[in-house]
Chains A and B, each alone.
Chain A
Amino acid sequence: MGLRADMHEHALDNLKYIRSTMENTTAFTAVPGYGMILVGCSALVAAWLGNGAKSREAWLAIWTAEGMAAILLGFIALIWKANHSGVSLLSSPARRFGLGFAPPLLAGAIFTASAARANHYGEVAGLWLLLYGSGVITGGISSVRPVLLMGMAFMALGAVALFTPGEFNDICLAVGFGGLHIVFGIWIARNHGG
């Protein structure tokens, strides 16, 4: 290969490197670690309250309230982190994250409404974990490694919850929405800017 072709290749390679670095960077800063820790703590409280609930309806009401609180907490933390790191929530990585994350959550909400209507709660906890995990993976597909690992862990736990007796549901939810959020939240907060 001649000098001319070498330089052409080298310049192309440099531009590819610049592009991929910029893409990695913009996908990187969206997920709030501290927010996840807070969400995890609130989920542990919900798991404790849910475990003592007198009826399945009360249990569902507790977890529905927790779901709404978690969305609110997560959103506030997302705004805080975006402002702190100077990233726009209207940027394409942020939009990509939202578009990937929202559909599985919406599917979970619809499934929950249907399960409540049929008074059939057996698979609710497992499917929540499974769908949340898939949302984390699809939303964070181009994000940092802990986000993908957390999604996989949620999906694995969801599968476990689906194949274990109902009395273990609260434990699975506590380990997932509580424990996994806290562990991965600390990891992200310590290594990925808050």
Chain B
Amino acid sequence: MAAKAHLDLVPLPQKAVNLDQLIHERVRLGIVSALAATKKLSFGELKEILNLTDGNLSIHARKLEDAGYVTCRKYFLGRRPQSEYELTATGKKAFEKYVNHMEALIQAMKPKEK
């Protein structure tokens, strides 16, 4: 509701600017959405779900990690190094806010019926 009220006050381009740009990027939105659906995911699982390359996933996961949206735990499974990602409370809050923002945008920007 707060997001919708806010949308009503600002001009159109400003509404887009106010989006959390960190999550708004498609790959990072995918990472956060996947982690919001389950408690933890390994690097390999995220790669498979989002159909990404190692390099692409690493870069975007690091950005989310730097922002405090996800944590990364490194460990060994046998001799293979593994990375396991989890959404932090901050990340969860940001994701919920983003979804609310999208819902508010849908309502606010609904094409007017003639």
- The residues of A with any CB-CB pair to B shorter than 8 Å are 3-5, 7-8, 11-12, 14-15, 17-18, 21-26, 28-29, 85-87, 144, 190-194
Closest 7 CB pairs of A and B: A86-B39, A22-B37, A8-B109, A11-B105, A21-B33, A25-B37, A25-B34
- Counted as pairs of residues, one from A and one from B, with CB atoms less than 8 Å apart, the total is 90
Partner pick for B40 among A15, A86, A190, A191, CB 8 A cutoff: A86
> Can you sample 19 A-B contacts with CB below 8 Å?
A3-B12, A4-B109, A4-B111, A7-B16, A7-B105, A8-B105, A8-B109, A8-B110, A15-B102, A24-B34, A25-B37, A25-B49, A26-B37, A28-B49, A86-B38, A86-B39, A86-B40, A87-B39, A192-B48
Q: Are the CB atoms of B26 and A17 closer together than 8 Å?
A: yes
Q: A147 → chain B, closest Cβ, in Å?
A: 12
Residues of B within 8 A of A4 (CB): 12, 109, 111
Residue of A nearest to B39 (CB): A86
Q: Are the CB atoms of A22 and B34 closer together than 8 Å?
A: yes
Q: Are the CB atoms of A21 and B50 closer together than 8 Å?
A: yes
Q: A150 → chain B, closest Cβ, in Å?
A: 16
Identify whether the interface residues of B are mostly helix, strand, loop, or mixed: helix
A29 and B34 in contact, given A11-B106, A14-B29 (Cβ under 8 angstroms)? no
Residues of B within 8 A of A18 (CB): 29, 33, 99, 102
Partner pick for A144 among B39, B42, B48, CB 8 A cutoff: B48
**Cα of A6 to Cα of B29 in the assembled complex, Å:** 19
**Cα of A5 to Cα of B113 in the assembled complex, Å:** 12
Q: A13 → chain B, closest Cβ, in Å?
A: 10
**Cα of A29 to Cα of B39 in the assembled complex, Å:** 11
Residues of B within 8 A of A192 (CB): 44-45, 48
Cβ of B41 within 8 Å of any chain A Cβ, yes or no, is: yes
**Cα of A139 to Cα of B49 in the assembled complex, Å:** 18
> Among residues 12 to 47 in chain B, which have CB atoms less than 8 Å away from a CB atom of chain A?
12-13, 15-16, 24, 26, 29-30, 33-34, 36-42, 44-45
Q: Are the CB atoms of B44 and A11 closer together than 8 Å?
A: no
Q: Are the CB atoms of B38 and A7 closer together than 8 Å?
A: no
Partner pick for B33 among A12, A22, A194, CB 8 A cutoff: A22
Cβ of B103 within 8 Å of any chain A Cβ, yes or no, is: yes
Cβ of B77 within 8 Å of any chain A Cβ, yes or no, is: yes
**Cα of A59 to Cα of B13 in the assembled complex, Å:** 73
| Contacts beyond the supplied A21-B30, A85-B40: 18 A-B pairs with Cβ under 8 Å | A7-B16, A8-B105, A8-B109, A11-B106, A14-B24, A14-B102, A18-B99, A21-B29, A25-B33, A25-B49, A28-B48, A29-B38, A29-B41, A86-B38, A87-B39, A191-B44, A191-B48, A193-B41
